[in-house]
Amino acid sequence: MEIRRRLKAELSIFGATFRKARHDSVNDLAAAIAFWAFFSIFPLLIGILSLASLILDSGPLQTRIFEAMTDLLPGSEQLVKDNLEAVVRYRGSMGLVAVLGLFWTASKGFGAITRAINRALGIRSDLRYVLA
């Protein structure tokens, strides 16, 4: 009897969790968070490349990277060479674009997280400003 009562209590917790998740549209909220997190990777990579271009300015290092990349990607010599030169040439503007893009995508990502947490806690958006 004890096991049956305990199992019933646990199943009711799971059932309530699934009903609340369906009511709050957690699939959509999780997708929004995942989208903005994934989208933030690209400005981050551009920023890393622009910082790395300060080191890539040296000729021997560029040659070693060029050789390593063409070994990994055969037939892409011209593409790799053009991209390495572009990274070194446009490092200032790429850095600025990367920082602005990273701020924009990060703010959207944190906004999605905030909306998900507010929905989970039952905080309505019109009440949020009254309580702050």
Q: How many domains is the chain built from? A: 1
Sequence-distant (6+) residues with CB within 8 A of 76 are: 69, 70
Q: What is the pLDDT of residue 32?
A: 86
Please write the tens of the pLDDT for every residue from 15-38.
887 887 777 778 888 888 889 888
Please report whether residue 7 resides in a domain.
no
Please report whether residue 66 resides in a domain.
yes
Q: What is the pLDDT of residue 60?
A: 76
| CA gap 124, 62 in Å, rounded | 54
What confidence category does residue 127 fall into, taking pLDDT thresholds of 50, 70 and 90? Answer: low
pTM of the predicted model over 0.85? no
The domain of 36 spans: 25-131
